[in-house]
A and B are shown apart, each in its own frame.
Chain A
Amino acid sequence: MKDIIKLGSILMLITTIAATALAAVYSVTKPRIELKKVEALNAAKSVALPGVNLKAIDEVKNDEKLLYYTGYSDTSKSNLVGYAFLAYGKGYSSTIESIVGVDSSGHILGIQVLSQTETPGLGTKIEEIKYGDSLTWVQNKFIGKFCQNLAVDKDGGEIQSITGATISSRAVTNSVVAGYEELVQYLKAAN
């Protein structure tokens, strides 16, 4: 019995010290991590709506759920540039989350993949920038396109999918179409 108390106390002492040290590191890194998340989201908004001042982007929410962003040409918010929405597609091994910016006629202004864990070297190519280029695969393929009736070539559409990553390519393509359809519904409901 005494043995168990002694062993347990030593373990408790060590875990207490460890937890305290961890709490200290956590408190230092937490603000930085939060900041990085905000920075990443702001960077994403700027990619989706290029040239738009961050202060000229409004969030449109339903309770706590973000529906879409509205972007204006300046902070007076009188001149509409377009909208940005989040798109989710079921990829090969993960949910591919992207942010898509469109103008009022539904043509893509900017697009960025926010998160994915697809197969390294294949599905991950959707985020790859070829050496010498400055745009990723999704940006090269989607910017300028009209959001309705988009499909990968294997489904009869115009988006040339990545060799060996048809499922990932299809997931992004279909998520853009679905996300746009949702945006149209939200806009209709608001008017």
Chain B
Amino acid sequence: MSAIKEFTKGIYKENPVFKQALGLCPVLAVSNSVENGLGMGLAATFVLVCSNIIISLIRKGVPPKIRIPVYIVVIATFVTMIDLSMAGFFPALHKSLGIFVPLIVVNCIILGRAEAYAGKNKVGLSFLDGLGMGIGFTFALMLLGVIRELLGNGSLFGVPMLGAHFEPVLIMILPPGAFLTIGFVLGFFNWLENRRQRN
């Protein structure tokens, strides 16, 4: 695959959330507002890109038997770095995302790309793969975030959008609303794909 395709595949064709169904836990939990979704997406993308680069760099020196612990150490190190940096430089966002920043360590997308791609490919391509998947993840978070915040709170980024008479559908910002939204969106993308393949 050409280099550009390695990057773009993560955004739609092999979108980690909508096509690979990875990283659903943070998506469900943090997509209750666009701001949270964006913050989480960017933090996870940073970790994904950095861990892909490092893992690709050391891939020849890591014995297969211990590759998983090695990947986890690398990922956890970057997550801790970003957790500390967020606390020191963006305390409001850090407080908003709370426990979900440390939980980036167990985000399946990051370990998944380490195992499926970065462990076997060159640094440049691994970087593009990580960036594409990270952007795809952020896109998924923001798409769900827009739907859930608009319907569940009548706002986007905290700014009311639907007027004073709009009665927010509270369930949309709670867990059941997350499941409902992701179910419909996944269904929609599957339907799109079926139509595409029939043509």
Q: Which residues of A contact B (CB under 8 A)?
A: 6-7, 10-11, 14-15, 18, 21-22, 25-26, 28-30, 32-33, 36, 40, 117, 119-122, 131, 164
Instruction: Evaluate contact between A131 and B73: CB separation under 8 angstroms.
Output: no
**Smallest distance from the beta carbon of B189 to chain A beta carbons, Å?**
26
**Smallest distance from the beta carbon of A123 to chain B beta carbons, Å?**
11
**Could you list 16 examples of A-B contacts with CB < 8 Å?**
A10-B63, A11-B70, A18-B73, A18-B74, A18-B77, A21-B81, A22-B80, A29-B84, A29-B85, A29-B87, A29-B89, A36-B87, A119-B174, A120-B173, A131-B155, A131-B160
Which of A14, A15, A36, A119 has the most chain B CB atoms closer than 10 A to its own CB?
A14
**Smallest distance from the beta carbon of B174 to chain A beta carbons, Å?**
7
Q: What is the CA–CA distance of A115 and B90 in the complex, to the nearest angstrom? A: 17
Q: What is the CA–CA distance of A14 and B70 in the complex, to the nearest angstrom? A: 7
Which of B53-74 touch A at CB < 8 Å? 58, 61-63, 65-66, 69-70, 73-74
Q: What is the CA–CA distance of A22 and B62 in the complex, to the nearest angstrom? A: 21
Q: Is the interface of A mostly helix, strand, loop or mixed?
A: helix
Which of B70-125 touch A at CB < 8 Å? 70, 73-74, 76-77, 80-81, 84-85, 87-89, 91, 98
Q: What is the CA–CA distance of A30 and B66 in the complex, to the nearest angstrom? A: 32
Q: A21-B77, A120-B32 are in contact. Are A11 and B87 (CB under 8 A)?
A: no
Instruction: Evaluate contact between B63 and A7: CB separation under 8 angstroms.
Output: yes
Instruction: Evaluate contact between A11 and B66: CB separation under 8 angstroms.
Output: yes
Task: Identify A10's interface contact among B32, B61, B91, B174, CB under 8 A.
Answer: B61
**Smallest distance from the beta carbon of B64 to chain A beta carbons, Å?**
10
